[in-house]
Amino acid sequence: MNVIVVGSGIIGLSCAFELALAGHSVRVITRNYEEGASWVAGGMLAPFSELLEDELLDLSLLSLDLYDDFIRRLEEVSRLKIFYEGSRAILRLAFSHQMLESIEDYALKMKEKGFSVEELGPEGARKIEPHLSDEVLGAWIFEKEGNVDAERLMDALIFAMENLGVKIEIDDIVEILWKDRAVGAVKGYKKEYSSDFYVFAPGSWSRSLFEVPVYPQKGQILRAKGVELSRVLFSERAYIIPKDGYLLIGATSEDAGFDTRITLEGAGQLISGSLSVLPSLAKAELVDVRSGFRPATPDEKPIFDLGENYALLTGHFRNGILWAPSGAKITLDYLERGEVSEFFRIFSSSRFS
């Protein structure tokens, strides 16, 4: 089947990867394949540390179960090594009594559901990371949580597109040409494009094509080096993420529209927050600060819509990297077997009607 994917963030490229591997003829159309949040994402696979529950946790668990194989196949096709830790990669910390109680209650629920949770306490946390702040009140490790280098992941997907023969067209899709309830074609500044099926993954720019309440939430994240960590440090103050040779420290959450500027306020917030978690970072080298746009929705849940000959996958907010394999799977399952995932019902945009 001929498929057009609109959007080249982690969601669009993951769908293109799985569809092309399955033998479909895929084209990706994007305004700028380095635009959006995917290239500057922290890369934490952390639904438990985010305290997700119910359908958001179900979607996350589907992705976590897929991730090992997703990375393996992507490395094979792209011939690029991806920094990836698939289990026990995150140390979840609490610095306030309110957060301590929230995580304790959540961890108890997860244990009752059969998930492995290790509660360490402040002293146990310092055995893992001796330089932690004295202000830490609690620490946990959730068995299934991981860490992936999002920039390297995106590089691998771009290389995989080339190796799979997937053409990436640079054009800004400005209009969908409807034919009854089906997509007849998509119109860009350069020309019109038509296909048998369409996957729309336009991220923060979704409202330009669909009547959905998706808006950009700006996030700034900084890169540093010179300090080594064995695990991600995740807290309400900051998250500090070790990669191969550097650290990512993030992230701000700003309702600033499509403002790409790096601000002193944002950088200062990240620096002060991270130093209050790990004071030894004071001697680390600041490499750079970047910004991106998370596609947010009013209820902080994604939007998955299925039309006659298209799928819309957007609104992934902070969890695009985590949810990419599950989004690609439910799209492929529909095209290959006509199987409509329950997530298309649960996360339908009709909930905002």
End-to-end CA distance of the chain: 33
Going from N- to C-terminal start, the domains of the chain cover: 2-80+150-213+298-352, 90-144, 215-296
Are the C-beta atoms of 128 and 230 separated by less than 8 Å?
yes
pLDDT range class, residue 39, cuts 50, 70, 90: confident
pLDDT at 248 over 90: yes
Report the pLDDT value the prediction gives residue 110, as an integer from 0 to 100.
98
Summary mean pLDDT of the chain? 96
- Residue 321 in contact with residue 145, Cβ under 8 Å? no
Q: Would the pLDDT of 98 be above 80?
A: yes
**Weakest mean pLDDT among 35-49, 101-115, 261-275:** 35-49
- Taking the C-alpha atoms of residue 257 and residue 17, their distance in angstroms, rounded to an integer, is 30
The two tokens of residue 328 are 């690609």
Per-residue confidence (pLDDT) for residue 175, from 0 to 100: 97
Q: Residue 353 — pLDDT band, cuts 50, 70, 90?
A: confident
What pLDDT score was predicted for residue 32?
84
* 142-196 tens-digit pLDDT: 999 999 999 999 999 999 999 999 999 999 999 999 998 999 999 999 999 999 9
- Cβ atoms of 43 and 292 within 8 Å: the answer is no
Amino acid in the structure at residue 352: F
Compute the distance between CA of residue 236 and CA of residue 22 in angstroms, rounded to an integer: 41
Whether cis (ω within 30° of 0) applies to the bond prior to 251 is yes
CATH 3.30.9.10 fits 215-296, yes or no: yes
Q: Is the pTM of this model over 0.75?
A: yes
Tell whether the model's pLDDT for residue 88 goes beyond 90: yes
pLDDT digits (tens, 9 = 90+) for 194-217: 999 999 999 999 999 999 999 999
Look at residue 36 and tell me whether its pLDDT is greater than 80.
no
Mean pLDDT of all residues in 90-95: 98
Per the CB < 8 A criterion, the answer to whether 210 and 310 are in contact is no
Evaluate whether 2-80+150-213+298-352 and 215-296 have a shared fold: no
Residue with tokens 């900051």: 238
Give yes or no for residue 277 having a pLDDT over 90: yes
Q: Which residues contact 212 (CB under 8 A, 6 or more apart)?
A: 206, 297, 303, 305, 312, 314, 315, 349, 352
What pLDDT was estimated at residue 34? 73
Evaluate if residue 37 carries a pLDDT over 80: no
**CATH of range 2-80+150-213+298-352; options 3.40.190.10, 3.40.980.10, 3.40.1360.10, 3.50.50.60:** 3.50.50.60
pLDDT of residue 183: 98
pLDDT-derived band of residue 290, with 50, 70 and 90 as boundaries? Answer: very high
Amino acid residing at 281: L
Q: Which of 178, 176, 170, 110 is nearest to 145 (CA)?
A: 110
For 297, residues 6+ apart whose C-beta sits below 8 A from its C-beta are: 212, 213, 214, 215, 303, 315, 317
Q: What is the pLDDT of residues 299-338, one digit of tens each?
A: 999 999 999 999 999 999 999 999 999 999 999 999 999 9
Residues 6+ apart with CB under 8 A from 210: 176, 200, 305, 312, 314, 349
pLDDT classification of 68: cutoffs 50, 70, 90 = very high
Q: Which residues of 169-187 are buried (b: 16+ CB within 10 A; e: fewer)?
A: bebebeebeeeeeebebbb
Per-residue pLDDT at 38: 87
pLDDT of residue 330: 98
Q: Assign 33 a pLDDT band (cuts: 50, 70, 90).
A: confident
Contacts (Cβ under 8 Å, ≥6 apart) of 57: 47
